[in-house]
């Protein structure tokens, strides 16, 4: 019996002619899980952008008279505090959204810096090979031997933790994964005919690396970068929870949950509400990342 491929599995001639990056995103966007993740993420992003500007409340102003107000689905609530208030009377919805805003900014900036550092080192290492490859990969191996969270805790315990400091520490700890992946791509691409042709025509090494090899590294690392945003959000929350992340009064998931753990019995919503926002954020990002990974696997098997 002949199996007729579905429309999403049938190679599209136009997609075959497009770049690997476009084929990757085109295939991933057809998956239901990618669309669900994208809808969740865009919804959260709109809330993060609009609600703090539209809300008349303050995320840092103390109002003792409003302390420990429950969410709207519990008795004793107030409609101006939909998710309730914390031990100092601050609105939990607003604080959670600002915490998500800070987590996204730190995580995306960290991943971009990790990608930049790792890609430069990986492309140079894979393209030149020889002693350049040996030196750069030994540095990468040395960095990989130190657990990210251990290095981050060590540095931030000594230095004053600021948003820029957290970004730099996490990025300097996480770039080796990108260096490894881009090195493999660079080693494979440098042997291809179009690179040899560019050399014959007189193109410099820098021009070849920037214009010919660099565009081909996105498909292998796209899903890694998306999933790393979620991973960095977790690390940022951990650092905030143990007190060496972004410091109060700036709201972050970590310091809100850390404050709420003291009141889990009588005011469980203080720690739970930011935890729910963190869960939904991680779920949406992981759904998109998983779709990109499956699309990448199909791309390299020649299905798309």
SS (H, E, C) 75-113: CCCCCCCCCCECCCCCEHHHHHHHHHHHHHHHHHHHHHH
Is residue 284 assigned to a domain?
yes
The total of structural domains in the chain comes to: 1
Tokens linked to 262: 């003291």
What pLDDT score was predicted for residue 20? Answer: 66
Structural domain for 112, as ranges: 25-52+81-300
Is residue 71 assigned to a domain?
no
Rounded Cα gap, residues 293 and 95, in angstroms: 33
Give the H/E segment covering residue 303.
none
Rounded Cα gap, residues 226 and 135, in angstroms: 29
Indicate the pTM of the whole model. Answer: 0.85
For position 271, which CATH number holds? Answer: 1.10.3720.10
What pLDDT score was predicted for residue 118? Answer: 92
Distances, alpha carbon 244 to alpha carbons 147, 189, 259, in Å: 17, 42, 14
What pLDDT score was predicted for residue 167? Answer: 92
Is residue 19 assigned to a domain?
no
Is residue 235 assigned to a domain?
yes
Rounded Cα gap, residues 181 and 199, in angstroms: 24
Is residue 61 assigned to a domain?
no
Is residue 123 assigned to a domain?
yes
What pLDDT score was predicted for residue 19? Answer: 64
Backbone angles phi, psi at 85, to 5 degrees: -130, 165
What pLDDT score was predicted for residue 5? Answer: 47
Is residue 201 assigned to a domain?
yes
Is residue 64 assigned to a domain?
no
What pLDDT score was predicted for residue 253? Answer: 95
What pLDDT score was predicted for residue 8? Answer: 46
Per-residue model confidence as pLDDT tens for the chain (304 residues)? 444 444 444 445 454 456 666 777 788 888 889 999 999 999 999 999 999 999 898 898 998 899 999 999 998 889 999 999 999 999 999 999 999 999 999 999 999 999 999 999 999 999 998 899 999 999 998 888 888 778 888 888 887 788 898 999 899 888 998 998 899 889 888 888 888 888 888 888 888 888 888 888 877 787 788 889 999 999 999 999 998 888 888 999 999 999 999 899 999 999 999 999 999 999 999 999 888 888 877 776 666 5
């Amino acid at each position: 019996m002949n199996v007729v491929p579905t429309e999403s599995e049938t190679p599209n001639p136009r997609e075959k002619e497009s770049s690997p990056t476009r084929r990757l995103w085109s295939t991933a966007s057809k998956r239901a899980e990618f669309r669900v993740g994208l809808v969740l993420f865009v919804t959260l992003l709109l809330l993060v952008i609009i609600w703090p500007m539209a809300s008349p409340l303050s995320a840092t102003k103390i109002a003792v008279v409003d302390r420990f107000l429950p969410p709207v689905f519990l008795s004793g609530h107030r409609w101006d505090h939909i998710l309730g208030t914390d031990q100092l009377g601050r609105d939990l919805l607003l604080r959670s959204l600002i915490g998500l805003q800070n987590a996204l900014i730190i995580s995306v900036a960290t991943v971009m810096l990790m990608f930049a550092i790792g890609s430069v080192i990986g492309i140079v290492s894979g393209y030149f090979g020889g002693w350049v490859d040996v030196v750069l990969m030994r540095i990468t191996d040395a960095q990989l031997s130190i657990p990210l969270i251990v290095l981050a805790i060590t540095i931030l315990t000594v230095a004053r933790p600021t948003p820029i400091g957290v970004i730099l520490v996490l990025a300097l700890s996480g770039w080796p994964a990108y260096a490894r992946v881009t090195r493999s791509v660079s080693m494979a691409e440098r042997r291809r005919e179009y690179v040899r042709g560019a050399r014959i025509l007189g193109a410099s090494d820098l021009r070849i690396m920037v214009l010919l090899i660099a565009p081909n590294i996105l498909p292998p690392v796209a899903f890694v970068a998306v999933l790393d945003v979620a991973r960095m959000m977790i690390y940022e929350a951990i650092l905030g929870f143990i007190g060496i992340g972004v410091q109060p009064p700036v709201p972050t998931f970590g310091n809100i949950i850390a404050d709420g753990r003291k009141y889990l019995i009588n005011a469980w919503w203080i720690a739970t509400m930011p935890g729910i926002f963190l869960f939904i954020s991680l779920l949406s990002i992981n759904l998109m990342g998983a779709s990109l990974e499956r699309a990448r696997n199909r791309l390299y098997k020649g299905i798309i």
